[in-house]
Chain A
Amino acid sequence: MSKRLAELLILSGYLILAVLLYRSTASYPPSVQGSTAMYVRFLGTALGVLCTLELLLWFKNRGQGETDKLKLTTAPIRFWGLAILLVVYAASLSMLGFYLSSAIFLPIAMLLLGATKPLSIGLTSAGVLFFVYLVFAKLLEVPLPGSTLF
């Protein structure tokens, strides 16, 4: 996808959001129609006006940078691999609990990103988890995600 097309899609999405936001204030209670509903209407209007302006600028400069690709990363496999791994990690937190899911996530992510030495992978993973246990769980008593399975 080209950068220009991505810009157009984002701006169109924002424009739809602006319209929906403005219309949604009709369902606000009458008591706030003159206060918070007014504020939200203002946000919707301002977003709509600015998006229209930016779209006009987009059409005005249509010829420029037409071929520029939207390049998110130089290493797509690692980038998307890590993104997917993070989503799986977040989803597994409530099921497996913090320690088990982290103990799986850390080495897999390290291997994905090119770490090769098993000793440094193992020591870093264990060290980080021990640090979290000591500081977050024991010292500061910060609640960590628990497991629903065990």
Chain B
Amino acid sequence: MIVQALQALFTPISLLAVFIGTTSGVIVGGMPGLTATMAVALLIPVTFALEPLTGLLLMGGVYCGAMYGGSIPAILLRTPGTPAAVATALEGYPMTQQGRGGLALKVSVVASFTGGMFSALVLLMIAPVLATFALTFGPPEYFLLAILGLAGIVSMADDENRLVKALISGLIGLILAVVGTDPMSGMLRYTMGLTDLFDGVAFMPALIGMFSISQMLELTGAKSIVTDKTLITKIKKEPLPKGIGKPMALGSVVGTIVGILPGEGATIAAFVSYNIARRRSKNKELFGKGNPEGIAAAEAGNNGCVGGSLVPTLTLGIPGNSVAAALLGGLLVHGLIPGPELFTKYGIMTYAFILSLFVANVIFLILGLFMAPYFARISLTPTALLIPVVCLFSVLGSYAMNNSILDVFIALLCGLAAIILQKTGFSLGALILGLILGPIAETGFAQALIMGHGSYAIFFNRPQAIALWGIILLLLVPPIYQIYKHHHQQKG
């Protein structure tokens, strides 16, 4: 069947569909406010007119390309093209400021390729087995998974003062996520009567405000992003830095596993990978100042999510994340029902689709490596022209998610607040992490307590939950010990 699938894939029309899909994905992912979900959803009606396989290949290409594309503006302009690229911006933008934006883009594309290839391989080899394991996760495990993501906040601090401020920032993010409809009762909370807040504070406008608008406001005092312009011309000659292999491998595994869990997204995968890499790195002190290891882990993590999220989508009909949900819609309109039949009766099409993910990864790798030096030149644009244009796209991106002017004001407010919070030592990364993980944490916590009839024992008496507690402790102990040691050294 694999041979027949390869034959179906290596036809000019199919390859063209993968190429167009991947290229469009990179462009869409590179524009703040246009997400992979939106692009795949918009493609569904287009695929009506196409052969089912061609339509699927187009959508798969967009998914892979967009996941990588989000890292380009995140690195060059500190404006994540997709929410999954926030962790990339934390390391990528400082590298751009040092004139190493091209290298950061190279690391990003290689890591994205590695993560994408690994997860596609996992999807091809062990999809049904892993999907069954993911089904054993219930609300307590989802809550603990959110805690696992939040544990990263601790590693964002290096002394007790910073730790408390990082935790406060994370809590503010969790509190902002509470705004909207109560997931259990349907009651409206803290919406001030604004219908646009019924679904909660949309995190894309908040994210655009905190990372993009705040950066543009800060840049008003500079003539260009890069201080040493001569470094930009050296991009082609600079080899990949040493030591990025381990974080890439780690990100690929973490991203694939997180992707397999229904409802978990590439953003969480990127943050979890980034935080684990930060903890395990020999150059911890360089994190936040432009460490390629951080980009490698985050990008391998979010692209690792692509194949992972398709495991439950194709085998059980449970989408791994919102993009996979849109893709599932595309499958259903063509009469392709997820389940065993997809791997038997429609096996050629399904395997051709899975194999096309490998091709899509190769396409964006070539595209990224070839185009990196040209993309990096964006950082040479005079700020007088660049800032208004980025602000326009930030406003557009904030509006386009929900067609809401209120979202634009939220982005502006978050932008101004971000500058003040950052200058007073609060962590924006922790805040955004809280905002993203808040709904998963709240729903998991509330549902688990209902399941356990109000008893907290439910968080400790299941094997999966115990395993997750173990991982959380493993993540928390080393940074807390480091802070304790640092505190004692200062006293001494």
What is the interface of chain A, defined by CB distance below 8 A to chain B? Answer: 3, 6-7, 10-11, 14, 17, 21, 24, 28-29, 31-32, 34-36, 38-40, 43, 46-47, 50-51, 53-54, 57, 61, 70-75, 78-79, 82-83, 86-87, 89-90, 93-94, 98, 102, 105-106, 109-110, 113-115, 120-121, 124, 128, 132, 135-136, 140-145
* Contact A110 B217, beta carbon cutoff 8 Å: no
* B217 CB contact (under 8 Å) in A29, A47, A73, A136: A73
Q: Could you tell me if B421 and A90 are in contact, using CB atoms closer than 8 angstroms?
A: no
Are A32 and B446 closer than 8 Å at their CB atoms?
yes
Contacts of B220 in A (CB 8 A): 73, 75, 78-79, 82, 113
Q: B478 on the interface (CB 8 Å rule)?
A: no
CB distance A29 to B187 under 8 Å?
yes
Min Cβ gap A113→B in Å is 4
Q: Is the Cβ of B387 less than 8 Å from the Cβ of A82? A: yes
Q: Is the CB of A72 within 8 A of B420?
A: yes
Known: A3-B424, A57-B164, A145-B405. 16 other contacts (CB 8 A): A14-B168, A32-B184, A32-B187, A36-B442, A40-B178, A50-B171, A51-B168, A75-B220, A78-B221, A86-B391, A93-B395, A105-B391, A109-B391, A110-B384, A140-B38, A143-B400
Out of B39, B164, B388, B389, name the residue touching A54 (CB < 8 Å): B164
CB atoms of A136 and B400 under 8 A apart: yes
Give A1 Cβ to nearest chain B Cβ, in Å: 10
B396 touches A35 (CB 8 A): no
Minimum CB–CB distance for A18 against chain B, Å = 9
Q: How far is the CB of A139 from chain B (nearest CB, A)?
A: 9
Partner of B392, one of A32, A34, A46, A102: A102
* Contact partners of A120 in chain B: CB under 8 A: 385
Q: B113 an interface residue at 8 Å Cβ cutoff?
A: no
Assembled-state Cα–Cα distance A143/B399 (Å): 9
- Cα A51 to Cα B175 in complex, Å, equals 14
Assembly CA distance A70 to B182 (angstroms)? 38
Interface contact A7-B168, CB-CB below 8 Å: no
Query: In the complex, what's the smallest C-beta–C-beta distance from A116 to chain B, in angstroms?
Result: 8
Which residues in A have their C-beta under 8 angstroms from that of B185?
28-29, 31-32, 36
